[in-house]
């Protein structure tokens, strides 16, 4: 059967697959467009399985927000090049929409917008058309009964998409728009300073113990009496909390104020008492151990094939 260029073009538009793959699919299925789509899907899944072992540490962070709630998600690819792909960006934006609608724990198994497939199935299918290992990594959601949840994307590549995303929740009975505006400033601060916790009580005890051990060792080397050493340790721990606790940090917008005091100032605009109830900061690829490639070995392997 002769396969026309128009048929190949139609199949490419439907699937995003390469021209030769589309031609082969149509030839194999005697020009049946629906069967050709299934053939390419099967081939794409096969490709996805082969690529699944490769490290995906690039990609995008996405945010989406509703009335008093917002989400941040991370979807990974192998290269930054793919992160600039419009099809990939659409996937990340839709994953954020799903997280907002169904919650962060239900993303993978929820229906992808405009499809009868799940998010997990859609991402796996996209591996075949985009040509890289892709993976949905994580999602988080913040909400308030009253007030606002602000979002911030640092160096956005598209609306709500970038390499670093932050959510900040502010509970207040006052003006929600004013609360969101201040919350966005705090979100920018969080992006810049990467605090460990909202309050001192929420700092990981293991992190505190590690710092205290270091401070103790440093203080003992001074040769001062134990009572003086104890005060030195207390002072250094206090400084540690000022550096890593969001509410105690110097506010980047106005370093003369802590974030806590800046919130008090913002209450004048908000028109009621306000409280920061939580924050989330996602930096792309944090915690992922990236593959270290040996270019010479890759070339040698390619030559042997």
* Closest among 43, 74, 44 to 61, alpha carbons compared: 74
Q: Which domain range does residue 164 map to?
A: 58-200+245-283
* CB contact burial 139-174 (16+ within 10 A = b; e otherwise): bbbbbbeebbbbbbbbebeeebbbbbbbbbbbbbeb
Q: Is the domain of 186 the same as that of 147?
A: yes
121 inside domain? yes
**Choice among 24-33, 134-143, 226-235 with the minimum mean pLDDT:** 226-235
291 inside domain? no
Q: Is the domain of 130 the same as that of 93?
A: yes
Q: Is the domain of 100 the same as that of 236?
A: no
Q: Could you read off the pLDDT of 283-295 as tens digits, one per residue?
A: 998 877 665 544 4
Is the model more confident about 305 or about 189?
Answer: 189
Q: Is the domain of 179 the same as that of 251?
A: yes
Q: Is the domain of 9 the same as that of 33?
A: yes
302 inside domain? no
| Mean pLDDT for the stretch of residues 155-184 | 97
Structural domains of the chain, count: 3
**Cβ–Cβ under 8 Å, residues 100 and 65:** yes
297 inside domain? no
Q: Is the domain of 119 the same as that of 131?
A: yes
272 inside domain? yes
Q: How confident is the model at residue 43 (pLDDT cuts 50, 70, 90)?
A: low
pLDDT at position 74, please? Answer: 97
- Written in H, E and C, the secondary structure of the chain is CCCCHHHHHHHHHHHCCCHHHHHHHHHHCCCCHHHHHHHHHHHHHHHHHHHCCCCCCEEEEEEEECCCEEEEEEEEECCHHHHCCHHHHHHHHHHHHHHHHHCHHHCCCCECCCCCCEHHHHHHHHHHHHCCCCEEEEEEEEECCCEEEEEEEECCCECCEECEEEEEEEEECCCHHHHHHHHHHHHHHHHHHCCCECCHHHCCHHHHHHHHHHHHHHHHCCCCCHHHHHHHHHHHHHHHHHHHEHHHCEECCEEEEEHHHHHHHHHHHHCCCEEEEEEEEEECCCCCCCCCCCHHHHHHHHHHC
Q: Could you read off the pLDDT of 92-108 as tens digits, one per residue?
A: 999 999 999 999 999 99
Q: Is the domain of 225 the same as that of 164?
A: no
CATH number at residue 46: 1.10.8.10
pLDDT at position 298, please? Answer: 43
**Cβ–Cβ under 8 Å, residues 21 and 44:** no
Q: Is the domain of 125 the same as that of 257?
A: yes
- How many other CB atoms are found less than 10 A from the CB of residue 49? 12
Q: Is the domain of 121 the same as that of 266?
A: yes
Q: Is the domain of 154 the same as that of 268?
A: yes
Distance of CA 193 to the CA centre of its chain: 17
Looking at the predicted structure, is the pLDDT value of residue 275 above 90?
A: yes
Q: How confident is the model at residue 57 (pLDDT cuts 50, 70, 90)?
A: low
Q: How confident is the model at residue 45 (pLDDT cuts 50, 70, 90)?
A: very low
164 inside domain? yes
| Mean pLDDT for the stretch of residues 74-102 | 93
Q: Is the domain of 150 the same as that of 261?
A: yes
290 inside domain? no
* CB contact burial 98-115 (16+ within 10 A = b; e otherwise): bbbebebeebeebebeee
Q: How confident is the model at residue 220 (pLDDT cuts 50, 70, 90)?
A: confident
CATH number at residue 265: 3.30.479.20
| Look-up of token digits 């081939």 | 43
Give the list of residues 6+ apart from residue 230 with CB closer than 8 angstroms, or none.
none
Edge-to-edge strand order for the sheet containing 147-154? 147-154, 164-172, 274-283
Q: Is the domain of 77 the same as that of 11?
A: no
Question: Residues in the chain, how many?
Answer: 305
Is the model more confident about 118 or about 12?
Answer: 118
187 inside domain? yes
């Amino acid at each position: 059967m002769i396969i026309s260029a128009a048929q190949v073009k139609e199949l490419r538009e439907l699937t995003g697959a390469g021209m030769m793959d589309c031609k082969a699919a149509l030839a194999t299925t005697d020009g049946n467009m629906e069967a050709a789509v299934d053939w390419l899907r099967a081939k794409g899944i096969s490709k996805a399985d082969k690529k699944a072992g490769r490290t995906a540490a690039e990609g995008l962070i996405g945010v989406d927000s509703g009335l008093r709630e917002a989400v941040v998600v991370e979807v990974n690819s192998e290269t930054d090049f793919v992160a600039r792909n419009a099809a990939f960006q659409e996937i990340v934006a839709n994953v954020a929409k799903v997280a907002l609608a169904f919650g962060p724990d239900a993303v993978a198994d929820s229906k992808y917008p405009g499809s009868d497939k799940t998010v997990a199935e859609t991402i796996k299918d996209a591996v075949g058309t985009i040509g890289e290992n892709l993976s949905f990594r994580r999602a988080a959601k913040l909400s308030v009964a009253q007030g606002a949840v602000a979002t911030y994307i640092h160096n956005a590549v598209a609306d709500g998409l970038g390499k670093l995303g932050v959510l900040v929740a502010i509970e207040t009975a006052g003006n929600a728009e004013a609360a969101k505006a201040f919350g966005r400033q705090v979100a920018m601060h969080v992006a810049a300073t990467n605090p460990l916790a909202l309050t001192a009580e929420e700092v990981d005890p293991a992190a505190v113990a590690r710092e205290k051990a270091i401070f103790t060792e440093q203080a003992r080397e001074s040769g001062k009496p134990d009572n003086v050493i104890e005060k030195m340790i207390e002072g250094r721990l206090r400084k540690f909390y000022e550096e890593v606790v969001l509410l105690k940090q110097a506010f980047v917008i106005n370093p003369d104020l802590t974030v806590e005091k800046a919130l008090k100032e913002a209450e004048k605009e908000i028109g009621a008492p306000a409280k920061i109830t939580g924050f989330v900061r996602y930096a792309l690829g944090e915690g992922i151990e990236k593959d270290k490639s040996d270019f010479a070995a890759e070339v040698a392997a390619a030559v042997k094939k």
